[in-house]
Amino acid sequence: MNTTKSSNMGMKKSRMPARLDYFQSGSGLILGLFMWGHMLMVSSILVSKDFMYSVTKFFEGSFLFEGGAPILVSGFAFFIFVVFIVHAFLGMRKLPANYKQYKVIKETSSTLNHEDTKLWFIQAFTGFAMFFLGSIHIYIIMTNPDQIGPYASADRIWSGWMWPLFILLLLAVEFHGTIGLYRLCVKWGWFDGEDPRKTRKTLKKVKNYLTWFFLILGFTTLGAYMKIGYDHRHNVGERYVPSTAMVYQIDKVEVA
């Protein structure tokens, strides 16, 4: 009896892979939601420079600290960077360890012609690209929190020649993020109804709509920053002054 019990205990599978899956899913969900929120925030430039400036100051805590505290942006960027690195390393567990394994997965995928497996390949490729592209972007924001604004951001994109990186990063983020959130829903059955197959088809449509929506929004936003940066190329380093502040300064001069 003791021998059987010991044998069963020896055969007991580790729960660590399952726990790591939870951490990977949780970190992916945080990053996916952050991606959408970040895109909506930076797209505020499409409303106006003043609106983008106001949004920037809000995240710097201007409602608590006069003029804002850019260090808050650094702190949040550091948190996202940690989650980003953790998620990347957890995701690497499931990547092929060598070319032979990759070839087997590729051949199996081609034989089965399974769409979700193809999505996994896209997610793996874009995730690998994001590890480098995203790290650069987050590090710049983390170390230069005071260089965010209509002019500062546009100058970095245009005069700083960051726009090629942002094009690649935008493509990688939107495909990786929407595929990842779709696979999370399928994996954990968050929206499963009476007919899981029908639900999966609906989720794929939602995924496609979201991908196109954020790609269009992202490239439109990037184009706006490039246009501002191009127009402002001769005054790189100049800080943006919102129109309300300009009016206030003019009034002060007239009174004086």
192-235 confidence digits (pLDDT tens): 777 778 888 899 999 999 999 999 999 999 999 999 999 999 99
Report yes or no: 109 and 118 within 8 Å, Cβ to Cβ.
Answer: yes
Q: Using the predicted structure, report yes or no on whether residue 250 has a pLDDT greater than 50.
A: no
Q: Of 43-47, 194-198, 234-238, which gets the smallest average pLDDT?
A: 194-198
pLDDT for the residue 159? 96
Bind-site residues for heme b: 38, 87, 137, 176
Angle, CA 209 vertex, CA 178 and CA 119 arms, to 5°: 40
pLDDT for the residue 218? 96
Report yes or no: 50 and 244 within 8 Å, Cβ to Cβ.
Answer: yes
List of residues 6+ apart from 245 with CB closer than 8 A = none
Bind-site residues: 38, 87, 137, 176
Residue with tokens 């600290």: 65
pLDDT for the residue 196? 76
pLDDT for the residue 102? 61
pTM of the model: 0.82
Assign 137 a pLDDT band (cuts: 50, 70, 90): very high
Provide the residue type at 241 as one letter.
V
Domains and CATH numbers, the chain: 20-255 (1.20.1300.10)
Q: Using the predicted structure, report yes or no on whether residue 240 has a pLDDT greater than 80.
A: yes
Cα separation of 56 and 33, whole Å? Answer: 19
Report yes or no: 151 and 230 within 8 Å, Cβ to Cβ.
Answer: no
pLDDT for the residue 32? 92
